[in-house]
Amino acid sequence: MTLSMDISFTNKNNFMEKVNMRILSLLSILITLGYSNLAVAQDCSQIVESNDAMQFDLKEMRVSADCKNMTVTLKHVGNLPQQFMGHNWVLSNTADMMPLSGASMQAGAPNYLPEGDSRIIAATDMIGGGQETSVTFDMSSLDPSGDYSYFCTFPGHYAIMKGKFIIE
């Protein structure tokens, strides 16, 4: 009598363990799905590469209007030093891009950026080959229907190194 009760008790425990295991694995699947959806909905960071051929690897950037803050990481995958092939990532209204490029050239080496210029929405440091830098900025002041561009302010580069920054 005692023995059979023990066995049934053990079986019941095993059964509950299996049920618990199933619930746990189901939960972990649901949690994984939930997190990946969240990551897609709020991918508020972008990586853009630049090189020795004066190019960004992105012709445009599309970012979510849900992003409160945006982080852009600029990588320079070339070898040339900053004074010859420096790159930065600067965001402004598209209409400000050319005048801002002129002001940047006047600001001079090594940063080629007019500090404190209100036309600059965001800007990274100027980097050379093998380096990486990033900037995080507030998106709340941007108009989703606005016309924004990013570009490099190293003299002459904005003609090629530019792209549209699209909020959607």
Tell me how far apart the terminal alpha carbons of the chain are, to the nearest angstrom. 71
Residue in 100, 152, 165, 167 binding Cu ion, rule: CB under 5 A:
152
Closest CA to 127 of 71, 49, 62, 46: 49
* Piece of 12-20, 28-36, 127-135, 154-162 that binds Cu ion (CB under 5 A): 154-162
What is the nearest approach in angstroms of Cu ion to the Cβ of residue 127?
9
Question: Which of the ranges 3-11, 79-87, 96-104, 108-116 carries the binding residues for Cu ion, by CB under 5 A?
Answer: 79-87
Instruction: Say whether residue 154 binds Cu ion (CB under 5 A).
Output: yes
Q: Which residues of 119-137 are buried (b: 16+ CB within 10 A; e: fewer)?
A: ebbbbbbbbbbebebebeb
Choice from 87, 90, 114, 122 touching Cu ion (CB under 5 A): 87
Residue from the set 114, 157, 162, 165 that interacts with Cu ion by CB under 5 A: 157
**Could you tell me which stretch among 23-31, 73-81, 132-140, 153-161 binds Cu ion (CB under 5 A)?**
153-161
Residue 62 CB partners (closer than 8 Å, separation 6+): 166, 168
Element containing residue 16 per DSSP (H, E): helix 2-41
